[in-house]
Amino acid sequence: MLSIPGLPGRTCDGYSRRELLRVGGAGLIGLSLPEFLRMQAMAAPAKLAIEPKAKSVILIFLQGGPSHIDIWDPKPDAPSNIRGEFKPIKTNVDGIQVSETMPMMAQQLDKVTMIRSMSYTPAGLFNHTAAIYQMMTGWAPDKVSPSGQLEPPLPRDFPHMGCHLSKMRPPEGPMLPFVEMPRPLQESNVIGKGGAAGYLGKAFDPYRLYQDPNKEIRLEDLTMRPEVSPERLKDRVTLLKGINGSMKELEKAVSGYALNEYYEKAYDLVLSGKARDAFDLTKETDKVRDRYGRTTFGQGALLARRLVEAGTRFVQLNWPAVANGNPEVDSWDTHAANFGPLKNLHCPVLDRSLSALIEDLDQRGLFKDTLLVAIGEFGRSPRIGVSTSGNTNAPDGRDHWPYCYTGIIGGAGVKRGFQYGKSDAQASAPSENPVHPADLVATIYHTLGIDPSMEILNDLKQPRALVEGKPVHGLFV
């Protein structure tokens, strides 16, 4: 299990979700985990504003900002310093082409919608951290440095949409509501900004599986210690119920809440094996695992499918690299080099894994009630070798470009084989139907049956809309 420096297991704000899920000792299983489950249930699930189309969401987040023009939205008639080195290829949808870097995805586009008009005008959001925060929460940050970086996560931050979902629509059975993997959202030393529950409280943080799914996954969090048998644990739970039942102070503190229910939920989560089994990729055939690709990202995509099958509401699979990392090793941030890394490293992995996930979700019938979104925080500059964000770019590099980029969305009633919006002749701006990141977040809420305009209270107890965007109804059948 990866330990992120500077993120202790306990802070002045209380235990993290990971610490609350560590089990095996009487104290944690008897008190902390049930208390955590009780905290989650203190607010009743939100009443559904509309009939939900989706039960679960898989967010494929390509942190770093992949080049839309070199992957999804080729412009073969543009000048050479814009169109780049790659040629367009036909897809299985008439009239839609993608880059030659995505041959497998070209055969799966009949199952999803391509949004070619994602766009926002930066107001201090030209770099990764602030743009990621906006994409995860649906709100622009209130303090942005000139570089676009933010301070580390704070208790007053807007919550990630998966955290709101964990609170409003918890899983029906003993399952983790929100899982993030295989590494945190990160730009330089700013880790996890926009990826936490913020003012909702740590009980609604995601379960963070910061491990490589292409290797053996260790799940001490959800596994009994060898010296604590299920029978012994059950005896401890029964004993603690009796002790707590005789404590008037505790009875008063939990008045109105069925504490026993949360003992049972804690017991079920650890002992049912449902969550633990979902993480066990050895239950998949070699053929399926090979189809996804034996990479960190590929096996993460397969794990995402297994988690939603098991009942997880929100799964976020981050591109397994720091947002502003080295493009010649692992990052989409292609300032120093664009074409070689895309052709030889990143696109082959993305093409295989995303196409496998789409095909698998469709064949298994999971697209009926699972919403899939694949997107980065922005695209890359149409002109090669120029600076648009103050960064230095190599002659074959592309800079950040929030004015126009592409996202993929599918399942849960989204139109199949469809293109929503268009970019102009140079892929520099939408020519029709622009979609702001906040609109995409609002669309995700809408698909889950949650009114994105509903009033909530922020950290100062001030009323705010859940998100400032509006659902994009034109995406749906």
Terminal CA-CA length for the chain: 42
**How many H-runs (helices) and E-runs (strands) does the chain carry?**
16, 20
Cβ(322)–Cβ(188) below 8 Å: yes
Q: What is the pLDDT at residue 475?
A: 98
The helix/strand/coil state of 153 is: coil
| Rounded distance between C-alpha atoms, residue 155 and residue 412, angstroms | 33
The pair of structure tokens assigned to 139 is 């709100």
| Six token digits for residue 259 | 């504490």
Handedness of CA 330, 336, 341, 346 (dihedral sign): positive
Q: How far apart are CA 281 and CA 265, in angstroms?
A: 25
Tokens 């995805």 map to which residue? 105
What is the C-alpha to C-alpha distance for residues 106 and 235, in angstroms, rounded to an integer? 56
pLDDT digits (tens, 9 = 90+) for 371-389: 999 999 999 999 999 999 8
CA–CA distances in Å: residue 7 to residues 18, 22, 101, 191: 11, 16, 38, 9
Give me the pLDDT at residue 305, please: 98
Predicted pLDDT of residue 325: 93
Q: Residue holding tokens 């960190």? A: 296
**Structural domains present in the chain:** 1-42+224-274 (no CATH), 52-219+279-475 (3.40.720.10)
Distance CA(313)–CA(57), nearest Å, equals 6
Q: What is the pLDDT of residue 174?
A: 82
Nearest to 98 by CA among 78, 118, 77, 68: 68
Q: Using alpha carbons, select from 424, 309, 426, 327 the residue that is nearest to residue 369.
A: 309
Burial of 219 (0-12, 13-18, 19+ CB in 10 A): middle
User: What pLDDT is attached to residue 172?
Assistant: 85
Contacts of 338 (CB under 8 A, 6+ apart): 67, 70, 84, 327, 380, 384, 396, 397, 398
Q: Distance between CA 427 and CA 69 in Å, rounded?
A: 7
Structure confidence at residue 391 (pLDDT):
86
Going by C-alpha positions, the residue among 301, 391, 385, 299 that lies closest to residue 64 is 391
Q: How far is CA 451 from the centre of its chain?
A: 20
Task: Check residue 5 and give its pLDDT.
Answer: 34
- Residue 26: per-residue pLDDT: 35
Q: Phi and psi dihedrals of 406, rounded to 5?
A: -125, 145
111 strand-pairing partners: none
The partner residues of 113 in beta bridges, in order of sequence, read 409, 418
Dump pLDDT digits (tens) for 22-80: 433 334 334 455 555 555 555 445 556 678 999 999 999 999 999 999 999 999 999 99
Q: Which residues in the chain land under pLDDT 70?
A: 1-49, 124, 144-149, 221-272
Q: What tokens appear for 56 in the block?
A: 């679960």
Residue keyed to tokens 């095909």:
359
> What DSSP letter does each residue of 417-450 carry, written as one string?
SEEESEE-TTSSSEEE--B-HHHHHHHHHHHTT-
- The span from the CA of 197 to the CA of 153, in Å, is 10
User: What residues are paired with 89 via a beta bridge?
Assistant: 98
